[in-house]
């Protein structure tokens, strides 16, 4: 995937200062690249403009823009443009794992920060909910000026929690989110898959769109260990003695089966699914978000 | 209460090496890598089982490795199980019970058994007790044990025999049992004077307490001390060991039936010969029986064989048997032995000898060569093969012997000078007077000194040749050497009254007979034996035994040693004084006993074998683990 070379390596992002800077670097870089990218035909709008679509009111066409760019853009009212987005970030113990320079939680935090920055640029209302088996941190959705800072500050202060119970906070949030919007779940989904799916489907029942970022460490995908070792579960402390060469294939098959299961079941439920391993550029997440947003709007 | 001891316990230090695999195992276990991992739930359960199997396998490997190292160390330490039921350090009371013939008077042995039982019961409570019975030989009936009931049972089961008394044998056996322990010895005996055999060795270690319990012997004893068969008459000698005149019937029995009887009245401490006639054949066995109720019982009967022993075949090789000097002197001399029954002499010249088969030649117990001039090639080869194959040959170097062909006859060069030495007044001198040939000449009356030898041949000195007699001039007169597997005696003059007057001398007959006996020893068949010297396979008890099978079967008679018939006893003080005290080399004795025990048991071999099995198992399990 040579094209990804132009994106920022998560490891480099990790060395940047505050999450504010990280988010800005990621998003600005992403957008710069996007203008040159073949994806711009997607008519991504990052302000109050949207490309004209058949059926749009012609009165909303911005002729000045058309005159400058020779393109048809419709001018939307701010009220119509804004989207309420809830960033759900898993801070359970398993998110603290990282075989490389960054953990899954750091990766999820950067992704969430970048999404928040992007949403802020688009003037969408956004909020942040961090959870493990309960809600650990909550920043209500808002589009106010300065709200981005509050979200980024909350991301900055996140700490690793206990065990994962995605289903329960999702049910709670589904009940709390009244307004139709977008839910972005950033999690390693190391929970009972059915519970996770049930929780996410609650949003769908309420008409809320959902995009799932399945953050996973490369080691979780390939299980590249060599020596026999006792593998201790980060959340439950359960220990399993295993000879990697013996169990590797079985483990990888199980992991791939789980990913395939999520992909299939979430697809059937109308939920976008994006698998991100922590070695991949964060921009891939932003791209997935924008595609979902486009579909939502 | 068997205990394991070690001959070389220092090697057990090597067992510490077993700590190495244990420490490695523990270290390896403690350094198990623990990896925090989020998706443990996706790891299959199979590795857990695999791990348990691996743990079990590692445990088995550890056990096998430790076992191998420990077994190696233990094997080198030479383990053995102390056979004695009592601890080797426990004090011991050794009860030595005399079971010789001199305890066979009525009621005597029962008295000895009671004394022995009392000694067992009165032994200190802390002592182990051992029981030894002895006569000619000593037997450890019960090794040191704390189970006195066993010892008492063994005392009750002991039986008196017909053997002689050998105190030193008993004491030596007791010393072995005692080893390095504190001990006391209680010896139950009749204190018979003849029990101190001069040739025996044995004593008690220093510090070992001895108590002699005297069992009173009979006041008198009658014994048949000899019985000889002569011309259908049996002459029996009856000895009275008592201080009073004794009278006893003397019965000659053949095949269990009395055939003759006489009455003997014997003066105190005297013996008399009794002639018993009638009913005797030329073969079979007989026994002379007296009636002595009060004395020792086994010496009341004497067995004798009536069969003459088979004569020993001897060939005399002469130059011409029909001549005036055809070995007649030697033949006549040998015929004297046992009235002609001891040797079967065949005189043959070279022509006759040449026709003999190898079997006929081998049948000869000895060959005496007086002349070789008529021996042809076949005869010479026959003699050479006989000697090389283990034959016994006497060669004379008289005028009928051709020195030039001797090497063909004997198979080796004897170094005979061809010239005949003529010496005047040369006489024979035995170089080794203890040699069996010269046994009859130990007394001055039988001296060889006046045997004159006029001519002889000189033998050059050779290695491996022993000079048994010389002539006064210094030349060898009689030599002995081995040729092949056989034995060769060389008389450097002649035995046919040509070069010397020796065949006419009174010493010639004993010389010829003893020489023939010396050459044929081992081929002679003895029929009379005296305890304890009996041939292999014959029980050490007085009686008549059939030896051999079929036509070769012949009777063997075994009689008691009449020295044991003398009841004269010594005192306890004298007895105790005669006991030799030996320096107690405790460590050495203990080491010897331990070494013997270890050598018998050889547990180290088992240990090494098991170690090899453990190593093989370790290799097998280890390979599967890999």
Q: Domain map of chain A by residue range?
A: 2-36+82-296, 43-78
Task: Inform me whether the pLDDT recorded for A297 exceeds 60.
Answer: no
Q: How many of the other CB atoms lie within 10 Å of CB of B470? A: 19
Residue A42 pLDDT exceeds 50: no
- The residue among B28, B34, B38 with the most chain A CBs within 10 A of its CB, best to mutate, is B38
Provide mean pLDDT across the span B271-277.
89
According to the per-residue pLDDT averaged within each range, which of B125-134, B190-199, B421-430, B542-551 is highest? B125-134
Question: Best mutation site among B43, B53, B56, B626 for testing chain A: the one with the most A CBs within 10 Å?
Answer: B43
How far apart, in whole angstroms, are the C-alpha atoms of residue B266 and residue B52?
97
pLDDT (tens digit per residue) in B145-194: 888 999 999 999 999 998 988 888 888 889 888 887 888 999 999 998 88
Are the Cβ atoms of B44 and A190 closer than 8 angstroms?
Answer: no
How many angstroms separate the CA atoms of B130 and B439, rounded? 46
Of B35, B40, B44, the CB nearest to A225: B35
Determine the distance in angstroms separating the CA of A250 from the nearest CA of chain B, rounded to an integer: 7
- Smallest CA–CA distance, residue B613 to chain A, in Å, is 30
Can you say whether the dihedral through the CA atoms of A213, A217, A223, A228 is positive or negative?
negative
Strands (E), B121-199: 128-134, 138-145, 183-189
In the numeric block, the tokens 């117990």 are attached to B365
Query: What's the rounded mean pLDDT across residues A92-105?
Result: 89
Between A35-44, B137-146, B427-436, B448-457, the lowest mean confidence (pLDDT) is in: A35-44
Instruction: Output the pLDDT for position B547.
Output: 73
Sheet holding B301-305: strands in order across? B257-266, B246-254, B285-290, B301-305
- B312-520 has the same fold as B222-308+534-564: no
What's the confidence (pLDDT) of residue B446? Answer: 57
Percent of chain A at pLDDT exceeding 90:
7
What contacts 24+ positions apart, CB below 8 Å, involve B22-31?
B22/B62, B22/B66, B25/B58, B25/B62
Answer with the residue of higher pLDDT: B578 or B201.
B578
Query: What is chain B's mean pLDDT, rounded?
Result: 84
Least reliable range by pLDDT among A37-41, A261-265, B299-303: A37-41
For A230, which of B32, B39, B44 is closest by C-beta distance? Answer: B32
Q: Which of A78-87, B128-137, B549-558 has the lowest mean pLDDT?
A: A78-87
Contact A241 B51 (CB under 8 A): yes
**Domain positions in chain B:** 3-77+611-625, 92-217+569-584, 222-308+534-564, 312-520
pLDDT at B84: 45
Which of A217, A224, A240 to substitute to test the interface with B, most B CBs within 10 Å? A240
Query: Under an 8 A CB cutoff, do B38 and A225 touch?
Result: no
pLDDT at B624: 63
At residue B324 the predicted structure's pLDDT band, cuts being 50, 70 and 90, is low
- A239: nearest CA partner in chain B: B40
What per-residue confidence (pLDDT) applies to A3? 38
Which of A217, A220, A250 lies at the smallest CB-CB distance from B44? A250
Identify the residue with better confidence: A284 or B98: B98
pLDDT averaged over every residue in chain A: 77
* B14 contacts B76 by C-beta, under 8 angstroms: yes
Beta strand B34-37 with A229-233: parallel, antiparallel or unpaired? parallel
pLDDT digits (tens, 9 = 90+) for A6-41: 445 666 666 555 666 666 666 666 655 554 443 333
Asked if residue B96 has pLDDT above 70, the reply is: yes
Contacts of B53 in chain A (CB under 8 A): none
- Note the pLDDT tens digit of each residue in A132-141: 877 888 888 8
Q: Do A241 and B41 touch (CB under 8 A)?
A: no
Torsion sign across C-alpha atoms B457, B460, B461, B462: negative
Percent share of chain B, pLDDT over 90:
26
The listed range with the strongest mean pLDDT (A124-138, B352-366, B442-456, B532-546) is B352-366
Helix, coil or strand: residue B293: coil
Q: Which residues of A touch B48 (CB under 8 A)?
A: 240-242
Q: Are the C-beta atoms of residues B500 and B511 closer than 8 Å to each other?
A: no
Classify residue A15 as exposed, middle or buried by CB count within 10 Å of its CB (0-12, 13-18, 19+): exposed
Asked if A220 and B39 come within 8 Å (Cβ–Cβ), the reply is yes
Average pLDDT over residues B272-301: 86
* Average pLDDT of the segment spanning B302-331: 82
- Identify the pLDDT of residue A76: 60
Which helix (H) or strand (E) is B153 found in, with range?
Answer: helix B148-157
Spatial CA neighbour of B275 closest among B285, B264, B284: B264
Nearest by CB to A240, from B32, B40, B54: name it: B40
Phi/psi at A138 (5° precision): -140, 125
pTM score:
0.46
CA-based nearest distance B602→chain A, Å: 45
A99: pLDDT strictly greater than 50:
yes
CATH superfamily of B92-217+569-584: von Willebrand factor, type A domain (3.40.50.410)
A257/chain B closest Cα distance in angstroms = 11
Q: What is the pLDDT of residue A163?
A: 72
Please judge whether B46 and A217 are an interchain contact, meaning their C-beta atoms are less than 8 angstroms apart.
Answer: no
Within 10 A of B377 (CB to CB), how many other CB atoms are there? Answer: 10
Q: What is the CATH number of domain B222-308+534-564?
A: 2.60.40
Is B461 buried (19+), middle (13-18) or exposed (0-12) by CB count in 10 A?
exposed
Q: Distance from A141 to chain B by nearest Cα, in Å?
A: 31
Provide the pLDDT for residue A81: 47
Task: Report the pLDDT value the prediction gives residue B291, as an integer from 0 to 100.
Answer: 92
Query: Is there a contact between A150 and A139 (Cβ–Cβ < 8 Å)?
Result: yes
Residue of A nearest to B47 (CA): A242
Q: For the domain made up of B312-520, give the CATH fold.
A: Rossmann fold (3.40.50)
Neighbours of B127 (CB within 10 A): 21
Rounded CA separation B451/B428 (Å): 6
Residue A206 confidence (pLDDT): 74
CA B26, B31, B33: angle at the middle one, nearest 5? 140
pLDDT tens per residue, range A80-97: 445 788 888 999 888 899
CB contact under 8 A, A258 and B42: yes
Q: What is the pLDDT of residues B6-21, one digit of tens each?
A: 878 888 888 888 888 8
Say whether the ipTM exceeds 0.90: no
Which segment of B325-339, B506-520, B603-617 scores lowest on mean pLDDT? B325-339
Which residues in chain A are closer than 8 Å to B35, comparing Cβ atoms?
225, 229-232
- Predicted confidence at residue B134, as pLDDT, reads 93
What does CATH list as the number for A2-36+82-296? Answer: 3.40.50.410
Q: Where are the alpha helices (DSSP H) in B470-602?
A: 508-520, 572-577, 586-601
Determine the pLDDT at residue B480. 93
Residue of chain B with shortest Cα separation from A164: B38
């Amino acid at each position: 995937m040579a094209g990804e070379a132009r994106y920022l390596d998560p490891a480099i992002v990790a060395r940047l200062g505050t999450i504010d800077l990280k988010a800005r670097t990621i998003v600005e870089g992403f957008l710069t690249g996007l203008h040159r990218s073949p994806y711009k035909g997607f008519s991504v709008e990052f302000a109050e403009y949207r490309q004209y679509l058949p059926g749009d009111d012609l009165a909303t066409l911005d002729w000045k823009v058309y005159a400058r760019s020779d393109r048809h853009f419709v001018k939307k009212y701010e009220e119509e443009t804004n989207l309420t987005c809830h960033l759900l970030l898993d801070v359970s113990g398993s998110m603290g794992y990282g075989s490389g320079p960054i953990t899954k939680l750091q990766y999820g935090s950067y992704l969430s920060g970048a999404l928040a920055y992007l949403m802020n640029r688009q003037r969408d209302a956004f909020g942040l909910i961090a959870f493990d088996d309960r809600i650990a941190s909550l920043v209500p959705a808002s589009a106010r000026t300065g709200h981005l800072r509050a979200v980024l500050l909350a991301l900055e202060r996140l700490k690793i929690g206990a065990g994962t119970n995605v289903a329960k906070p999702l049910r709670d949030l589904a009940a709390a989110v009244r307004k139709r919007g977008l839910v972005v779940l950033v999690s390693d989904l190391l929970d009972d898959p059915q519970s996770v799916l049930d929780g996410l489907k609650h949003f769908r029942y309420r008409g809320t769109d959902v995009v799932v970022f399945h953050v996973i460490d490369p080691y979780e995908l390939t299980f590249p260990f060599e020596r026999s070792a006792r593998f201790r579960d980060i959340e439950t402390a359960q220990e399993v003695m295993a000879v990697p060469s013996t169990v590797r294939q079985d483990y990888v098959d199980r992991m791939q089966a789980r990913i395939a299961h999520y992909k299939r079941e979430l697809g059937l439920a109308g939920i976008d699914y994006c698998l991100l391993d922590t070695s991949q550029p964060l921009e891939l997440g932003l791209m997935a978000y924008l595609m979902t947003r486009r579909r939502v709007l | 209460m068997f205990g394991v001891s070690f001959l070389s316990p220092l090697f057990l230090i090597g067992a510490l090496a077993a700590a190495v695999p244990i420490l490695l195992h523990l270290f390896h276990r403690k350094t198990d890598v623990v990896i925090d991992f989020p998706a443990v739930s996706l790891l299959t359960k199979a590795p857990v089982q695999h791990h348990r199997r691996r743990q079990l396998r590692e445990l088995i490997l550890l056990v096998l490795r430790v076992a191998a190292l420990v077994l190696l160390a233990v094997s080198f330490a030479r383990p053995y199980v102390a056979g004695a039921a009592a601890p080797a350090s426990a004090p011991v009371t050794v009860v030595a019970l005399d079971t010789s013939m001199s305890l066979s008077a009525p009621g005597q042995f029962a008295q000895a058994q009671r004394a022995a039982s009392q000694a067992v019961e009165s032994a200190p409570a802390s002592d182990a007790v051992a029981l030894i019975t002895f006569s000619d030989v000593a037997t450890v009936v019960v090794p040191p044990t704390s189970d006195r009931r066993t010892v008492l049972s063994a005392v009750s089961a002991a039986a008196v025999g017909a053997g002689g008394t050998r105190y030193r044998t008993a004491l030596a056996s007791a010393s072995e049992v005692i080893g390095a322990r504190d001990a006391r010895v209680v010896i139950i005996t009749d204190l018979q004077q003849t029990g101190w055999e001069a040739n025996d060795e044995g004593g008690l270690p220093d510090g070992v307490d001895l108590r002699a319990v005297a069992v009173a012997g009979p006041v008198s004893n009658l014994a048949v001390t000899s019985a000889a068969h002569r011309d259908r008459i049996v002459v029996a000698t009856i000895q009275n060991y008592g201080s009073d005149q004794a009278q006893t019937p003397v019965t000659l029995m053949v095949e269990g039936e009395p055939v003759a009887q006489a009455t003997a009245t014997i003066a105190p401490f005297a013996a008399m010969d009794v002639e018993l006639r009638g009913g005797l054949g030329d073969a079979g066995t007989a026994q002379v029986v007296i009636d002595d109720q009060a004395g020792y019982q086994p010496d009341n009967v004497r067995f004798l064989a009536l069969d003459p022993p088979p004569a020993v075949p001897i060939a005399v090789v002469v130059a011409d048997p029909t001549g005036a000097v055809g070995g007649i002197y030697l033949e006549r001399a040998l015929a004297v032995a046992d009235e002609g029954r001891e040797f079967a002499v065949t005189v043959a010249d070279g022509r006759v000898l040449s026709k003999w088969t190898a079997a006929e030649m081998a049948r000869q117990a000895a060959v005496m060569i007086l002349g070789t001039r008529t021996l042809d090639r076949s005869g010479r080869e026959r003699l050479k093969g006989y000697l090389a194959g283990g034959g016994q040959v006497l060669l004379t170097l008289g005028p009928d012997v051709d020195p030039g062909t001797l090497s063909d006859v004997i198979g080796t060069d004897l170094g005979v000078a061809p010239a005949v030495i003529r010496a005047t007044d040369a006489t024979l001198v035995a170089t080794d007077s203890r040699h069996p040939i010269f046994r009859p000449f130990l007394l001055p009356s039988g001296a060889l000194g006046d045997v004159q030898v006029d001519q002889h041949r000189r033998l050059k000195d050779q290695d491996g040749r022993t000079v048994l007699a010389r002539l006064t001039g210094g030349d060898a007169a009689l030599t002995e050497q081995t040729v092949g597997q056989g034995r060769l005696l060389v008389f450097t003059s002649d035995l046919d009254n040509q070069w010397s007057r020796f065949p006419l001398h009174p010493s010639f007959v004993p010389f010829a007979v003893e020489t023939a006996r010396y050459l044929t020893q081992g081929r002679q068949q003895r029929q009379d034996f005296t305890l304890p010297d009996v041939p292999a396979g014959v029980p050490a008890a007085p009686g008549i035994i059939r030896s051999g099978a079929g036509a070769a079967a012949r009777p063997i008679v075994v009689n008691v040693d009449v020295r044991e018939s003398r009841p004269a006893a010594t005192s306890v003080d004298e007895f105790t004084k005669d006991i030799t005290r030996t320096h107690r080399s405790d460590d050495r004795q203990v080491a010897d006993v331990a070494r013997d025990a270890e050598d018998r048991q050889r547990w180290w071999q088992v240990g090494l074998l098991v170690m090899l099995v453990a190593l093989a198992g370790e290799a097998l399990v280890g390979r599967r683990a890999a």
